Amino acid sequence: MAVYTPPLRDMAFALHDVLRVQDSAVSGYSDLDRDFTAAILEEAGKIARDVLAPLNAIGDRMGCRLENGVVRTPTGFKAAFDTVRTGGWIGLDCDPEYGGQGMPYVMGTAVGEMQVAANMALNMYWGLTHGAYSAIHAHGSADQKATYLPKLVSGEWTGTMNLTEPHCGTDLGLLRTRAEPQADGTYLLTGQKIFISAGEHDLSENIVHLVLAKIPGGPAGVKGISLFVVPKFIVKDDGALGPRNALSCGKIEEKMGIHGNSTCVMNYDGATGSLIGEEHKGLRAMFTMMNEARIGVGLQGLAQAAAAYQVASAYARDRLQGRAVSEAANPDGPADPLIVHPDVRRALMDQKAFIEGGRAFALWAATLIDADVRAGDRHAAGLVSLLTPVVKGFLTDKGFECTVQAQQILGGHGYIEEWGVSQFVRDARIAMIYEGANGVQALDLVGRKLAADGGKPVMAFFEIVKAFIKANDGDERLRPGFLDPLKAASKDLQAAAMFFMANGIKNPNAALAGSSDFLHLFGHVCLGYMWARMAKAALEGSDDFHHAKVATGRYYMARLLPATGLHLARIQSGADPVMALPAEAF
Ligand SMILES: Cc1cc2nc3c(=O)[nH]c(=O)nc-3n(C[C@H](O)[C@H](O)[C@H](O)COP(=O)(O)OP(=O)(O)OC[C@H]3O[C@@H](n4cnc5c(N)ncnc54)[C@H](O)[C@@H]3O)c2cc1C
């Protein structure tokens, strides 16, 4: 059974030594000193380790059951949910006006990583609640905010996001759910949504569904989509729960992973809802909270990798197989531990270097959201909008790969459920698909984000990397191992961007054929930049933690960052190799 150890020291290092969140200019929060963040992270870590992680395998095995229209979550989920809820963790970074604790998003992100690593399926019940909170907070009326936000922040009610329909996932312009305006200003919603996470369950008194639907007579396609809040129980004027709304869960899906989270078919049969924001501007409203939601999903990929790595590294130190080619590490025993073998080391180093670099990257992105939201920093807003598809796509693709590498280290035992690693593989897989499949993240990055605001955010990113290299160029401890490879990787990224600029307009397929490579190239440069910053910070320290940090960073720069050259070569090969065959040839 997998045991989870919260990575407290690593988080403190990333937050304080690298990102310097104690500086209020970074987080927009003046009390974020080491003692304060340590207290929060320690407490969150305890809950993750002692309350959430022990239920992970149970949730996987039991899954959810639909009984007479009610979804029963696995044994223990309700009590664990209540522990998180009553501890105020759901509203950690929510607005104090509605009962939240007003912490910066970066703290929510650090806490979130531990919760997701410990139990992704259970965490999703309040993760989606946070999404619903953010959409209502940003776009709801004063009445909607007063009605829903305190209950969502306290976790008495939970939230969902209803976008997907049987015939439309990525292409939301096709959606058919209708919202008929009523004389009293409400709307009646009719249609079917599928794959709705946490659509029905037994953890909360009420479920607040955010539903995308079309008002008849509106513009065609995505321009005619509006956003509605549709509660499971209608809320009376005094805030008490009224009658059951005309919506129900028709089915829960059998699926590959996250069994403890209910994935529901939701039927709306003239359900009463109220409009959020303006008519036909629903997609825009939904998308304002997309940066947060997508960074949250990127975190899922990272967190599953981190949890799987903990099992694999412990196993590799313990399991005796074969002898070291140089000198026996365990001469008195029957064999040496797996960790002596260079190929096992390589796999462990791949994971460790990705996880620690990815953690710093996700936390950096979270500080940019804080700078945008708390300090109105438009520069940070542009940058995080550019980086969001990278966080989502790169961390989930690579996170999944890492869970598979962890599984490989356990050999056949990795494939057997007992050790828990196969669950991490299965759970991590969905993060590459939902919240915009990763191919669509790549499309967003190349098709929209790269040219957004006249290319200012991407130029700003290049400047940040260049300024770091220039500022540290005189440091011989950093230059050959970190700055030179970062400079080369950043050049590859610039060359790829130039290729798209030169070819994208006359041949859009040339840009899109390279879009996933571009996302990965970008992800590597981001992690290379984070590793250079981490190495600089670690060189100030002198204990084993700091030495390991520098060595792991060197590994990233020497063994993983050179992937940028391969991605660039693929991008520069253009559309032809990809589009050569007619559809009938497949
Ligand atoms: C377990 C689970 C939980 C989910 N939770 C929710 C939820 O809570 N709420 C919700 O609304 N939805 C949810 N979803 C739905 C999920 O977001 C969609 O499955 C996802 O957006 C993809 O849509 P699709 O399945 O219809 O695939 P499609 O849109 O049919 O796409 C199929 C493939 O084609 C690619 N593709 C499509 N269009 C393009 C294009 N233009 N360019 C390049 N590639 C393209 C995609 O990248 C994808 O790989 C969930 C799904 C699952 C399985």
Ligand 1 mean position to 492 CA, how many Å?
30
Grade residue 369 by pLDDT with cuts at 50, 70 and 90: very high
Mean per-residue pLDDT, 403-427: 97
Ligand 1 mean position to 114 CA, how many Å?
26
Question: Which atom in ligand 1 lies closest to the alpha carbon of residue 163?
Answer: 11
Query: From CA 318, how far away is CA 330, in angstroms rounded?
Result: 11
Grade residue 514 by pLDDT with cuts at 50, 70 and 90: very high
Check residue 504 and give its pLDDT. Answer: 86
Which one is catalytic: 278, 435, 476, 540?
Answer: 435
Check residue 497 and give its pLDDT. Answer: 96
In 3D space, the residue among 163, 125, 395 whose CA is nearest the CA of residue 287 turns out to be 163
**Angle at alpha carbon of residue 46, lines to 40 and 51, rounded to 5°:** 130
Check residue 26 and give its pLDDT. Answer: 74
- For 422, the token pair is 């196969």
Alpha helices in 201-319 (DSSP H): 282-288, 290-318
Pocket around ligand 1 at a 6 A CB cut-off: 161-164, 169-170, 195-197, 255, 263, 430, 433-434, 437, 439-440, 443
Task: State yes or no: pLDDT of 292 exceeds 80.
Answer: yes
Grade residue 217 by pLDDT with cuts at 50, 70 and 90: very high
pTM: 0.97
Contact 367, 414 (CB under 8 A): no
Contact 557, 518 (CB under 8 A): no
Burial of 211 (0-12, 13-18, 19+ CB in 10 A): buried
Residue whose tokens read 């040219």 = 451
> Taking every pair of C-alpha atoms in the chain, what is the biggest distance, in angstroms?
84
Q: What is the DSSP annotation of 230-290?
A: EESEEEPTTS-EEEEPSEEEEEE---SS-TTS-EEEEEEEEEEEEEESSTT-HHHHHHHTH
Residue whose tokens read 């959606």 = 175
Ligand 1 mean position to 173 CA, how many Å?
14
Check residue 353 and give its pLDDT. Answer: 98
- For 215, the token pair is 């008002």
Burial of 141 (0-12, 13-18, 19+ CB in 10 A): middle
Residue-level length of the chain: 586
Question: Three-class SS of residue 319?
Answer: coil
For the chain, the first-to-last Cα distance in angstroms comes to 43
Query: From CA 385, how far away is CA 368, in angstroms rounded?
Result: 9
Task: State yes or no: pLDDT of 428 exceeds 90.
Answer: yes
Check residue 512 and give its pLDDT. Answer: 95
Question: Which atom in ligand 1 lies closest to the alpha carbon of residue 436?
Answer: 21
Task: Tell me the pLDDT tens digit for each residue of 431-474.
Answer: 999 999 999 999 999 999 999 999 999 999 999 999 999 999 99
Question: Which atom in ligand 1 lies closest to the alpha carbon of residue 168?
Answer: 26
Query: From CA 493, how far away is CA 489, in angstroms rounded?
Result: 6
Q: Is 67 a catalytic residue?
A: no
Pocket test for ligand 1, best of 195, 200, 228 (most atoms within 8 A of CB): 195
Mean per-residue pLDDT, 464-488: 97
Check residue 284 and give its pLDDT. Answer: 83
Query: From CA 356, how far away is CA 352, in angstroms rounded?
Result: 6
Ligand 1 mean position to 203 CA, how many Å?
26
Check residue 291 and give its pLDDT. Answer: 78
Contact 344, 317 (CB under 8 A): no
Mean per-residue pLDDT, 533-554: 97
Question: Which residues does 34 contact at the CB level (< 8 Å), separation at least 6?
Answer: 12, 16, 22
Question: Which atom in ligand 1 lies closest to the alpha carbon of residue 160?
Answer: 8
Task: Tell me the pLDDT tens digit for each residue of 221-255.
Answer: 999 999 999 999 999 999 999 999 999 999 999 99
